[in-house]
Amino acid sequence: MPKVVEHLAKVNDKPVFSIEIIPPAKGGKIDELLNDIAPMMEIKPPFIDVTYHREEYISVKSDDGTTKEIKTRKRPGTVGICSAIMHKFDVDAVPHVLCGGFTKDDTEDLLIDLNYLGIENVMALRGDHAKPFSTFKPKTDGHAYAAELITQINDMNHGKYLHEDAEYLSKSNFCIGAAAYPEKHFEAESHEIDFDHLRAKVDAGAEYLVTQMFFDNQKYFDFVNKCRENGIQIPIIPGLKILSTKKQLDILPKLFYLEMPSEFDSAVRQAKDDKDARAIGIEWCIAQCRELMKFGVPALHFYTMSKSTTTMAVAKEIF
């Protein structure tokens, strides 16, 4: 299976179209998911990221009226979905591998499964905090940061497992992606400190980066220039979200700690309804893509939430 970096290396005049999908809510049908994303296959994404959703802790009422805490995973199925899209669409699946909710042994088991499935691309992420908590907490004997996770994956690529280290152990062959923040990760005390942690991920073996979504291209341009000036030369893929409702104007900055450009903010606020807001969001993203292409980005990566319509409205204008 080709590596993401091999797809990116082949880019000459037009960037790669890549997408990120989320598993259906628990109990959802695989055929519905495949039908939902099928229209985007027209643009032939060479790889598709499949997010991993960590466990959450909720209280449920028992019959006797008492409540108890249960652990549940609202969107399970990442590995199965990877296998399904590989076979259905002949596309490379890039599963997200998280620190959150995993011990190092859990991670090793997952990597072995992915390896046996012939999956050779992973996106190594710390992951968000588990609901209802407000801060990220690693599992006991789990990784606290993505750089540690990347080291474990890179070790397995060199035949080094957690408890065994012998010649006969097969080497995995994962191409490792990692996350990056043009507008700084909200927990980092400063851009400089965040940048040091980013460098640690690259030094640990990350071969390409995917950015947090942004709506102001200048944030991305400044970030890439800073990376190049500081010796980070690996591909940096811009992550794009197409705004599709008025409420997202306030939710997205709050959720992902990003700034909405004032011109975009006022245009969406004046939209008469979500349909209008969506049209503005599509136009804004098309303009972003055109400017990013001129800058020479290797790919345009869309956070689709497994919905095709808005992504296709942009992709048809761009690819």
Ligand X SMILES: NC(=O)C1=CN([C@@H]2O[C@H](COP(=O)(O)OP(=O)(O)OC[C@H]3O[C@@H](n4cnc5c(N)ncnc54)[C@H](O)[C@@H]3O)[C@@H](O)[C@H]2O)C=CC1
Ligand Y SMILES: Nc1nc(=O)c2c([nH]1)NC[C@@H]1CN(c3ccc(C(=O)N[C@@H](CCC(=O)O)C(=O)O)cc3)CN21
Q: C-beta of 164: minimal distance to ligand Y in Å?
A: 33
Cα angle 123-319-236, degrees, rounded to a multiple of 5 = 35
Q: Peptide bond preceding 15: is omega within 30 degrees of 0, i.e. cis?
A: no
From the list ligand Y, ligand X, none, partner contacted by residue 248 (C-beta under 5 to 8 A by kind): ligand Y
Tell which positions 105-134 bind ligand X, by CB under 6 A: 125-128
Q: Which residues of 116-128 are buried (b: 16+ CB within 10 A; e: fewer)?
A: ebebbbbbbbbbe
Residue closer to ligand Y (CB basis): 83 or 248: 248
Quote the CA–CA distance of 310 and 64 in Å, as a whole number: 47
Tell which positions 193-252 bind ligand Y, by CB under 6 A: 212-213, 239, 241, 245, 248, 251
Residue given tokens 């880019």 in the structure block: 11
Using only C-alpha atoms, what is the Rg of the chain? 20
302 lies in the site for ligand Y, by CB under 6 A: no
128 lies in the site for ligand Y, by CB under 6 A: yes
Residue closer to ligand X (CB basis): 74 or 185: 185
| Binding letters toward ligand Y, positions 155-184, x by CB under 6 A | ------------------------------
Angle subtended by helix axes 78-89 and 30-37, to nearest 10:
50
Residue closer to ligand X (CB basis): 7 or 201: 201
The letter for the amino acid at 150 is I
Kindly state the number of chain residues that form the binding site for ligand Y, as judged by CB under 6 A. Answer: 12
Residue closer to ligand X (CB basis): 42 or 187: 187
Residue closer to ligand Y (CB basis): 151 or 306: 306
In a 3-state reduction of DSSP, which class is residue 11? coil
Cβ-based neighbour number of residue 97 at 10 Å: 25
319 lies in the site for ligand X, by CB under 6 A: no
Among 4, 33, 122, 147, binds ligand X (CB under 6 A): 147
Residue closer to ligand Y (CB basis): 43 or 305: 305
- Alpha-helical regions (H) of the chain: 4-9, 30-37, 78-89, 104-116, 146-157, 191-204, 217-229, 248-256, 262-269, 274-295, 309-318
The residue range among 2-10, 142-150, 272-280, 286-294 that interacts with ligand X, by the rule CB under 6 A, is 142-150
Which residues, 6 or more positions from 123, have their beta carbon under 8 angstroms from its beta carbon? 49, 94, 95, 96, 97, 176, 177, 178, 179, 210
Query: What are the tokens at 56?
Result: 């959450």
Tell which positions 28-67 bind ligand X, by CB under 6 A: none
Quote the CA–CA distance of 185 and 214 in Å, as a whole number: 12
Residue closer to ligand X (CB basis): 190 or 262: 190
Kindly state the number of chain residues that form the binding site for ligand X, as judged by CB under 6 A. Answer: 18
78 lies in the site for ligand Y, by CB under 6 A: no
From the list ligand Y, ligand X, none, partner contacted by residue 126 (C-beta under 5 to 8 A by kind): ligand X
Give φ, ψ of 235 to 5 degrees. -55, 140
Please report, in angstroms and rounded to a whole number, the separation of the first and last CA atoms in the chain. Answer: 24
Q: Which residues bind ligand Y (CB under 6 A)?
A: 128, 212-213, 239, 241, 245, 248, 251, 255-256, 303, 305
Q: Which residues bind ligand X (CB under 6 A)?
A: 20, 125-128, 145-147, 179, 185, 187-188, 194, 197, 201, 210, 212, 239
